[in-house]
Amino acid sequence: MKNINLNVITKSKSYPIIIGKNIIYQINNILKLNHFNFEKVLLIADTKIPKKKLIILKSKIKSEKIIIHPFIANERNKSFKSINLILEKLFKYKFNRNDCIISFGGGITGDVSGFAASIFKRGIKFINIPTTLLAQVDSSIGGKTGINNIHGKNLIGSFLQPDLVISDVSMLDSLPKRDLTCGYGEILKHSIISDIKIFKYLKKNYSKILKLKTPFIEKTIADSCKIKRNIVQKDEKEKNLRKTLNLGHTFAHAYEATLAFSKKLNHGEAVILGIISSAKFSLENNILNKKDYEQIIKHINLLNLPMNLNYYFKKKDINTIIRYMILDKKNNSSKINLILIKKIGKVILDLKFDKLKIKKFLNKELLN
């Protein structure tokens, strides 16, 4: 199967996304074709990627100096401390604006690398080689970079569109099933936001997609990238339409923060949980019809995850969840701002709810 090429055109930058199998072997050609020529490269590499793949990538990049910066990807390392270590290395090796940072990892590595790239000398070249399904379908596109702090998730960050995204599906071979499912959650989210046809395609083919079968996995990644690309092109800085991509995220971020970003619930799982909460809340508020609600829940159940809030939380956690929901950066009042589902393929933005209403909802969801 040939590589799939997509172009993202935003006000700040235009760049290609290239999707295919084993394409890290072609990186030198891809760089040449796109007129990239770097003297120095800082390769920020997730330590869980098989060593063999890192060695292949390093050997295929033709550059005078390639420095590998190993990175342990977890939400605690999505921090200023990690950014400082990267910046120190860039200064130590005298990087300038025409040199490049390459992120070789999932969404966490990409968000941290992108943030460092955006602030070093006010912006250095940035290439993203996403190695998780979530990063290939979502976080590598659109230019959001960021880190967490004690006040919550992704509250410090910038917009920096990458110069190039290379999604090699063979990188997913070593990805744990749990992380594959998380990526699938974002794919499902994209279909619920904007395309019932893709929702139906996913329902029919989810098993082949999760087994990484060609051409299903490549088509699914490309379709999902197109949905996000089309939204980002219209609203790069999240003034309005781009907010739809946050479906489920106000709940999700609060769930993650309440559990102190523990491994018990990773980001993708929190998003799936957040989509379930949003769907149920939409149904209870007569925004979503029962048939579409049941289709969404049935689809999520196929993923076989512990998708019940009671597995993670008790009633005593409700106040903490609400506190984090109010802190969410999408809020600009004391009310809680939610994106809810009208039907599969259409969501409604900026619905504001009193915290007591959400408290009542969570109280009903949690058994004890």
Ligand X SMILES: NC(=O)c1ccc[n+]([C@@H]2O[C@H](COP(=O)([O-])OP(=O)(O)OC[C@H]3O[C@@H](n4cnc5c(N)ncnc54)[C@H](O)[C@@H]3O)[C@@H](O)[C@H]2O)c1
Annotated catalytic sites, by residue? 122, 144, 186, 228, 238, 242, 246, 249, 253, 267
Give the chain's end-to-end CA distance (angstroms, integer).
Answer: 52
Exactly one of 10, 27, 137, 138 binds ligand X (CB under 6 A); that residue is 138
Q: Of 113, 132, 191, 220, which lies in the binding site for ligand X, with binding defined by CB under 6 A? A: 132
Q: Does 220 bind ligand X (CB under 6 A)?
A: no
Pick from 10, 20, 102, 106: which binds ligand X (CB under 6 A)?
106
Rounded Cα distance, 229 and 9, in Å:
8
Max CA-CA distance within the chain?
61
What is the smallest separation between the CB atom of 49 and ligand X, expressed in angstroms? 5
What are the distances in angstroms from CA 22 to CA 3, 25, 134, 347? 10, 6, 18, 36
Which residue among 107, 152, 185, 274 contacts ligand X (CB under 6 A)? 107
* Closer residue to ligand X (CB): 40 or 267: 267
Choose which of 31, 44, 108, 210 interacts with ligand X (CB under 6 A).
108
Listed ranges 56-64, 105-113, 302-310, 353-361: which one lies at the site for ligand X (CB under 6 A): 105-113
* In the complex, minimum distance from the CB of residue 171 to ligand X, in angstroms, rounded to a whole number: 4
Residues of span 38-77 touching ligand X by CB under 6 A: 46, 48-49, 73, 75
Establish if 267 lies at the interface with ligand X (CB under 6 A): yes
Which two structure tokens, joined as six digits, stand for 18?
Answer: 């290239």
Q: Residue 185 burial by CB count (10 A; 0-12/13-18/19+): exposed, middle or buried?
A: buried
CA–CA separation, 92 and 113 (whole Å): 17
Please work out the total of residues on this chain that contact ligand X, with binding judged by CB under 6 A: 28
Position of minimal CB gap to ligand X = 107
Choose, by CB under 6 A, the member of 162, 248, 268, 274 that binds ligand X.
268
Residues 157-176 that bind ligand X (CB under 6 A): 171, 174-175
Which of 63, 103, 154, 277 is the binder for ligand X (CB under 6 A)? Answer: 154
Nearer to ligand X, 111 or 163 (CB): 111
Smaller CB distance to ligand X: residue 107 or 248?
107
Residue 193 lies near ligand X (rule: CB under 6 A): no
Binding site for ligand X (CB under 6 A): 46, 48-49, 73, 75, 78, 105-109, 111, 131-132, 134-135, 138-139, 142, 144, 154, 171, 174-175, 179, 182, 267-268
